[in-house]
Amino acid sequence: MSDTLPPRPEPRWTHVDDCFLDGRWTRSSATKRLSLVDPATGREWGSVPDCSAEDVDAALTVADRAFRTGPWPETTPAERAALLHRIADEIDARAAEMAVTNTLENGTPISETRGAAANAAGILRHVAGLASWLSDDDVRPFPAGGAESVVRKDPVGPCVLIAPWNFPINLMVVKLAPALLAGCTVVLKPAPGTSLSIRFVVEACVAAGVPAGVVNLVTGGGETGDRLVRHPLTAKVAFTGSTPVGRRIAAACGERLRPVTLELGGKSSAIVLEDADLDRMASVLLRTCLRNTGQTCYLATRILAPESRYDEVVDLVTRTVAAAPQGDPFDERTVFGPMASRAQYDIVCEYLASAHGARATTGGRPGPGLFIEPTVFADVTPDMRIAREEIFGPVVCILRYSDVEEAIALANDTSFGLGGVVFSADPAAAHAVALRMDTGSVGVNFFASNHNAPFGGRHDSGLGVEYGIEGLAQYATFKSIHRRTA
């Protein structure tokens, strides 16, 4: 397929030598580089520095200085909210260029990446609207009377924000927006393969008037991330990525008694109740179960269908997936693009090969280049690897259940707890099932993230939350000032 694709759009940046420190682009002292490869063609089109220990130290030194002595500590929540609105406007103005770079980086279809800027801007504007939570007086009386406490929300300090490769803009901005509103300074580290699209966010921050040292950027792999996490000037870490890496970050932060927010892997379930409207389910199936070529953490890649309608559900899912176009991610019609990297392609191929006993009703085979055929497996049993482990590719499994109790037990029989969906024509029945699912978020007849509600995982899916007041609170540290009352 890669041999037949048309010429690719030209991105703004290709091979760069700098990181962003103290308000300006600064040449990195790195001796190694990271290549950026278009997953659809296999062509290397860009590269970034694999930043050195000196770069990391410089980034956190200026972030710490800006936090303690620059103009940033004197700003009010209202002033910071106004700045977030300006950043949002600047990101909106860069939407087209950002989408092209993002699609070249990870192969996400352009129909998806074109919305990244608007989504990021929406996050910034929504978070700006939470400023009053930081500034409002919170006075609490002593239970015995005679005294009261003023509860302050202070910024936690310089934060290290590490985003993954699947949604590199939005999963960084969902950390950046509350960190800035809270009054923190930040060092951003994107995933190695998606290190250029984040430059548009940094550029937007500069254009909006963010003071020098408040937002800094370094690029690099796991070693760079480890240096950032363990640096003595880091006050907090926020990370989205795999559960194994999240465990290592949690251990490092635990050693240093450092707060950490982790949004990790998932293996979510879609419970199809007997009364479900399958046409309605089909209309949201791809986004709910296979968004971004299956490279999304919360996806309900396990569909649990009742025995009485199992064949009907298998037929519906198979037809829906088989009809969705796969191909050039720059084609507006494309639903399924390539895997983001050779490493991810190899992982998905291994899972396809392990699916002994399951029946592929569509797909089931590797395609050319880094493309994987969108795959539906039927006759899947709970003990199979494909039913238990996060695949992170265009693969969905359909399991059968005999009654609702078994469906709930199957949904909860996982080490993860990130998302989930219940399909039913009866909202009350769906809500009752959702209450019993052991997971951080559940959708009824659809799934989406709400900027106003907390999003986070349980168990192996992470610690802490993003979005909402609860997500903003992750970047605050609380102080109680006790005083006598008259």
What's the DSSP call for residue 434? H
pLDDT confidence band for 475 (50 / 70 / 90): very high
205 is catalytic: no
pLDDT tens for 190-249 read 999 999 999 999 999 999 999 999 999 999 999 999 999 999 999 999 999 999 999 999
In 8-166, which ranges are E strands?
Answer: 18-21, 24-27, 33-37, 44-49, 139-141, 147-155, 159-162
The predicted structure's pLDDT at residue 245: 97
CA distances from 74 to 63, 66, 204, 307, 474 (A): 15, 11, 22, 63, 21
Q: How far apart are CA 449 and CA 447, in angstroms?
A: 7
* Helix, coil or strand: residue 45: strand
Strand order in the sheet with 443-444: 359-362, 375-378, 395-401, 302-306, 269-272, 421-423, 443-444
Q: How far apart are CA 300 and CA 317, in angstroms?
A: 13
Residue 338 lies in a domain: yes
Residue 367 lies in a domain: yes
Residue 309 lies in a domain: yes
Let me know whether 222 and 344 are in one domain.
no
What's the N-to-C CA distance of the chain in angstroms?
78
Residue 485 lies in a domain: no
Q: Which residue has the tokens 């298998």?
A: 314
Owning domain of residue 418: 269-450
Return the CATH number at 473. 3.40.605.10
Q: How far apart are CA 272 and CA 294, in angstroms?
A: 20
Q: How far apart are CA 303 and CA 271, in angstroms?
A: 6
For residue 360, what is the enclosing H or E element? strand 359-362
Q: Over 70: is that where the pLDDT of 1 sits?
A: no
Residue among 263, 373, 390, 466 flagged as catalytic: 263
* Helix, coil or strand: residue 141: strand
Q: How far apart are CA 163 and CA 141, in angstroms?
A: 41
Let me know whether 72 and 132 are in one domain.
yes
The predicted structure's pLDDT at residue 3: 56
Let me know whether 210 and 277 are in one domain.
no
Let me know whether 257 and 273 are in one domain.
no
Let me know whether 128 and 15 are in one domain.
yes
CB–CB of 399/376 below 8 Å? no
Residue 153 lies in a domain: yes
253 is catalytic: no
Let me know whether 195 and 309 are in one domain.
no
Q: What is the mean pLDDT of residues 79-89?
A: 98
Q: Which residue has the tokens 């569509």?
A: 362
pTM of the entire structure?
Answer: 0.96
pLDDT tens for 29-50 read 999 999 999 999 999 999 999 9
| Number of domains forming the structure of the chain | 2
Residue 455 lies in a domain: no
CB–CB of 316/272 below 8 Å? no
For residue 123, what is the enclosing H or E element? helix 116-128
Residue 103 lies in a domain: yes
Let me know whether 259 and 116 are in one domain.
yes
Let me know whether 277 and 130 are in one domain.
no
What's the DSSP call for residue 232? T
What is the identity of the amino acid at 100? V
pLDDT tens for 422-431 read 999 999 999 9
Q: How far apart are CA 369 and CA 3, in angstroms?
A: 9
Q: Over 60: is that where the pLDDT of 2 sits?
A: no
Of the CA atoms within 13 Å of residue 252, those in its CB half-sphere come to 22
Let me know whether 242 and 331 are in one domain.
no
Let me know whether 61 and 154 are in one domain.
yes
Q: What is the CA radius of gyration of the chain?
A: 23
Residue among 19, 297, 373, 466 flagged as catalytic: 297
Q: What angle do CA 206, 211, 214 make, to 5 degrees?
A: 95
Q: What is the mean pLDDT of residues 272-289?
A: 97
Q: How far apart are CA 433 and CA 408, in angstroms?
A: 7
Q: What is the mean pLDDT of residues 75-104?
A: 98
pLDDT tens for 128-147 read 999 999 998 899 999 999 99
Residues 6+ apart with CB under 8 A from 299: 266, 268, 288, 289, 290, 291, 419
Q: Over 90: is that where the pLDDT of 310 sits?
A: yes
Let me know whether 434 and 471 are in one domain.
no
Q: Over 90: is that where the pLDDT of 365 sits?
A: yes
Let me know whether 278 and 158 are in one domain.
no
Residue 79 lies in a domain: yes
Return the CATH number at 355. 3.40.309.10
Q: Over 80: is that where the pLDDT of 4 sits?
A: no
